[in-house]
Structure 1
């Protein structure tokens, strides 16, 4: 089982990367932990969205108590939102040593389903059609999709899916690096138009929260 938490409190990086937090998460039955921080390394990157600003994203793989995990996260940030998700990795991120920052701009997008699409139609369009378009039109080297199965906190916004995309760090300031267009402006324009058209089809061109982050992973067991 995978759980994703969106935290809103500032200056949690030191705590989330610390051994005490890993111990608390492991005590809930978790075997893996991923911490993503909106920190100084990604300060120049774009961020936006209708929801409360997200300062960190925590992903936990666990067979233990979800309630205990919610309690651990909410002791750090009482406003944290948590979801149980299903994980798909159409483009698995490169492995990085425990506690080492991945050499990437790791963008998280929290997606909302428009009322015009049923849950089944939205999921199929995102997972079955849009996936290859997103990979083909961007300079990503890691692409992880997390369809939301249920909200674990009552105040959580109506997020239907959470996607993490890894880009070269140069993508923060160079649109060719971000879109993988190799310095060709016409190719960039083609890729951008194709991506926006695809996003529009399932409602991802609006109503999403975009969070740039630094990515850290840990093995707990």
Structure 2
């Protein structure tokens, strides 16, 4: 099984409904599609305190699709997304799950806030060193300094759509919904100002070691799983 992640841009105010409706239905009908998840920057997360855009315009949604063969299906999937999105950038990724997200009802909004970060590797770090820093020591720091209940890293293997911007990683972190606007809820510092400062300082020092303190996008989203890829 392979995993594809598509970054989606849309002009329509109904993109969330479109992706959850006709698009999800079409994806689930395709032979070889094993899992479908859509993260949408919608009204439920409009007030998020953390939102960073490095692309020319903010990403509207992120779709994850698990398939038998990316070579056979990537273009077909992109065409489905293009029916409701103005721009589509697809990537083949390798997935690493540090904290498994809790399961939710198919098609229902998952609890909390799902932040999606899009990473770019600094030119002065080779890929192996960058991956080691991101997936190695930083993992523990990220978990210990934030109140996350889901943490999934996707290292980019290659792009699968023409003209897709070069990126190197896509991260999904799940937070309590209060983390939309409360730094203590985001960092798990329980109202302690000194603890909050210590956690922020430690996290920022860690992300700087692999360049995630710059040239990134952070997209606050609502998370919808339409089919679990590894149903138990």
What does the per-residue CA deviation read over 1:19-65, in whole Å, with 9 as the maximum and x for residues that have no partner? x3223213152121111111111011121121031011111111142
Q: Does residue 59 of structure 1 match 2:64? A: yes
Q: Does residue 24 of structure 1 match 2:26? A: yes
What does the per-residue CA deviation read over 1:99-148, in whole Å, with 9 as the maximum and x for residues that have no partner? 11111110000000000100111011100111111111001110000000
The alignment yields a C-alpha RMSD, in angstroms, of: 1.4
In the other structure, the counterpart of 1:169 is 177
Q: Is this contact kept in 2: 1:22–1:220, CA < 8 A?
A: no
In the other structure, the counterpart of 2:43 is 40
Question: Superposed, which structure 2 residues align to 1:150-165 within 5 Å?
Answer: 150-165=158-173
Task: Name the SS of the counterpart of 2:47 in structure 1.
Answer: coil
Q: Does residue 49 of structure 1 match 2:50? A: no
What does the per-residue CA deviation read over 1:63-93, in whole Å, with 9 as the maximum and x for residues that have no partner? 1422211222223224111111111111011
What does the per-residue CA deviation read over 1:136-167, in whole Å, with 9 as the maximum and x for residues that have no partner? 10011100000001111232222100000001
Q: Distance in 2 between matches of 1:220 and 1:107?
A: 19
Question: Superposed, which structure 2 residues align to 1:1-221 within 5 Å?
Answer: 1-10=2-11, 11=13, 12-18=15-21, 20-26=22-28, 27=30, 29-45=32-48, 46-51=50-55, 52-64=57-69, 65-219=73-227
Runs of 4+ in 1 over 3 A off after TM superposition: none
Q: Distance in 1 between matches of 2:202 and 2:58?
A: 28
Q: Is this contact kept in 1: 2:42–2:222, CA < 8 A?
A: yes
Scaled by the length of structure 2, the TM-score of the pair is 0.91
Scaled by the length of structure 1, the TM-score of the pair is 0.95
Q: Distance in 1 between matches of 2:26 and 2:68?
A: 14
What does the per-residue CA deviation read over 1:149-194, in whole Å, with 9 as the maximum and x for residues that have no partner? 1111232222100000001110111111000011111111000000
Q: 5+ unaligned residues in a row in structure 1: which ranges?
A: none
Q: Distance in 2 between matches of 1:220 and 1:211?
A: 22
Q: Classify 1:78/1:194 alpha carbon distance in 2 versus 1 (closer, same or farther; 3 Å).
A: same
Q: 5+ unaligned residues in a row in structure 2: which ranges?
A: none
Task: Name the SS of the counterpart of 2:221 in structure 1.
Answer: strand
